Copies of this chain bind each other. A is one copy, B any other.
Amino acid sequence: MALTAISTVHHLPLSSDSTKISLRPRSNHQTTTDAPANHRRHGFAINIPNTISNLLHIGTARPSIPEELFTNSGDRKTPTISPKENISSLRDAIHGRADWSNLLDPLHPWLRREIVKYGEFAQATYDAFDFNPFSEFCGSSLYSRRRLFKKLGLSKNGYGVTKYIHAMSNVELPRWLERSLHADTWSKDSNWMGYVAVSDDEESRRIGCRDIVVAWRGTVSPAEWLEDLQGKLEPLRDDDDDDDDDDDAKVEHGFLSIYTSKSEATRYNKSSASEQVMEEIKRLVAYYRERGEEVSLTVTGHSLGGALALLNAHEAATSISDLPVNVISFGAPRVGNDAFGDQLLEKGVKVLRVVVKQDMVPKLPGVLLNEGLKRFEAVTGEIEWVYTHVGLELCLDVKQSPYLKHGFDLSGFHSLETYLHLVDGYLSKQDGYRRSARRDIALVNKFGGMLRNELRIPAGWYQMANKGMVRNAYGRWVQPEREPEDIPSPYRDCRPVVLPESL
Contacts and interface: CB of A to CB of B under 8 A. Distances in A.
Given A469-B442, A474-B80, A37 B183 contact: yes
Interface string A127-159: 000001110000000000000000001000000
A469 B458 contact: yes
A177 to B, nearest CB: 11
Nearest to A181: B453
B463 A81 contact: no
A440 interface: yes
Contacts of A381: none
Contacts of A460: 467
A476 B440 contact: yes
B443 A474 contact: no
Interface in A450-466: 453, 456-458, 460-466
Contacts of A170: none
Q: Would you list the 4 A-B pairs with minimal beta carbon distance, nearest first?
A: A465-B465, A442-B477, A64-B183, A461-B467
A47 interface: no
Interface stretch (A71-79, A197-205, A321-329): A71-79
A221 interface: no
A126 to B, nearest CB: 15
Interface string A247-280: 0000000000000000000000000000000000
Given A76-B472, A457-B134, A466 B463 contact: yes
Contact of A475 (B23, B80, B474): B80
A479 interface: yes
Question: Which of A76, A80, A456, A478 gathers the greatest number of chain B CB atoms within 10 Å?
Answer: A456
Contacts of A402: none
Given A81-B475, A134-B456, A465-B465, 4 more contacts: A80-B474, A440-B477, A460-B467, A461-B466
Contacts of A345: none
A179 interface: yes
